[in-house]
Amino acid sequence: MAQSRKTLRPQVHRQLDPAAWTAAGLSPANALIVAVILISTVFAVVETEPVIYGRFGRWFERAEIAFGLLFLFEYAARLWSVAEDRGDQSALRRRLRFVSSPAALLDLFVILASLVPVLGLNASALRLVRLLRIIRLAKLGRLSKALRGLSRAISLRRYELGLTVALAMSVLIIGATGLYWIEGDLQPDKFGSVPRSLWWAVTTLTTIGYGDVYPITPAGKIVASLLAMAGIGLIALPAGIMAGATHDAMKSGGSTNEGGV
């Protein structure tokens, strides 16, 4: 047993801790966990459909328990292998630190919530929380380098992007106020107040155009046309800003992709 601890525990630790895995990509164990998280997310999405749940409900419940047990087993393995972390602390202190970390607390909470079905509907939402774990597992490696690159690009131009958001907000309010004046009396349920008009302004500026609200007077259509044109600029401006930013961020920060690709 003492022997197996010497040989097994470091291996488990190497498999589970992304920082301890020196090879490229995810370790086999973490790749499996990512896959299981993705599958359990698909299950969490699909089981909300009454037609499917009505037929296969029993199987979804069983799958959910299986997922819960799997993640409980993973949690236990992490708790056991965390003692292998480098540093001067004792194994117990490391485990206590692991247990009290927000990420581990959230994990445990989600595991318990899916195994002890007392929260009803919201359990399905809690399972979506597991998606967050993928980000943590993928923290190292190329994807996270790409993530850092994009974050740096957005950060480089955060004032310019913030300005376009402020500009968009102003255009939204002005457009909504315009149609509130022009068609507020004609279509009171749609343009009878600025907040109501804002719904129309958002679906117009983002070029969605559901068709549940649209102007019917010539003046309203002219304002809507101006807002729609502004919408084109609203897409072109951030796209242009991001283009220069990604280029600069890749250059200055040392791109992920320039070396061995």
- Residue list 90-119, contact with a copy of itself (CB under 8 A): none
Q: Per CB under 8 A, does 217 bind a copy of itself? A: no
Q: Which of 128, 136, 185, 219 binds a copy of itself (CB under 8 A)?
A: 128
Sole binder of a copy of itself in the list 10, 18, 209, 253 (CB under 8 A)? 209
Half-sphere exposure of 243 (CA within 13 A, CB side): 6
By beta-carbon proximity to a copy of itself, the closer residue of 29 and 250 is: 250
Number of residues that bind a copy of itself (CB under 8 A): 82
Binding to a copy of itself (CB under 8 A): which residues in 22-41? 41
Nearest distance from C-beta of residue 234 to a copy of itself, angstroms: 6
Stretch touching a copy of itself by CB under 8 A, among 24-32, 42-50, 55-63, 99-107: 42-50
**Distance in angstroms between the alpha carbons of the first and the last residue of the chain:** 45
Torsion, Cα 250 251 254 260, to 10 degrees, reads 80
Subset of 48-77 contacting a copy of itself (CB under 8 A):
48-50
113 with 126: CB under 8 angstroms? yes
**The two three-digit tokens of residue 120, written as one number:** 């009803």
- Contact between 138 and 35 under an 8 Å Cβ cutoff? The reply is no
Piece of 15-23, 27-35, 66-74, 207-215 that binds a copy of itself (CB under 8 A)? 207-215
Q: Of the two residues 16 and 205, which places its CB atom closer to a copy of itself in the complex?
A: 205
Q: CA dihedral defined by 160, 163, 169, 171, rounded to 10 degrees?
A: -100
HSE (side-chain half, CA atoms, 13 Å) at 10: 6
What does the angle CA 62 – CA 65 – CA 67 come to, to the nearest 5 degrees?
A: 110
Q: Decide whether 65 or 135 has the Cβ nearer to a copy of itself.
A: 135
Q: Which is nearer to a copy of itself, 72 or 144 (CB)?
A: 144
Q: Using the minimum distance from each CB to a copy of itself, give the nearer residue, 72 or 123.
A: 123
Considering the rule CB under 8 A, would residue 212 count as an interface residue with a copy of itself?
yes
Where is 132: in which H helix or E strand?
helix 130-137
- On whether the CB atoms of residues 205 and 234 are closer than 8 A, the answer is yes
Q: Which of 8, 19, 45, 219 binds a copy of itself (CB under 8 A)?
A: 45
Query: Which of 10/192 has CB closer to a copy of itself?
Result: 192
Would you say 20 or 134 has its CB closer to a copy of itself?
Answer: 134
Q: Which one of residues 173, 175, 183, 186 is an interface residue with a copy of itself (CB under 8 A)? A: 173
The answer to whether 34 and 26 are in contact (CB under 8 A) is yes
By CB under 8 A, name the one of 99, 246, 253, 259 that touches a copy of itself: 246
Pairwise CA distance, residues 161 & 227, whole Å: 19
Long-range CB pairs of 56-62 (<8 Å, 24+ gap) are: none
Residue 102 or 159: the one with the smaller Cβ distance to a copy of itself is: 159
Q: Which residues contact 142 (CB under 8 A, 6 or more apart)?
A: 24, 25, 256
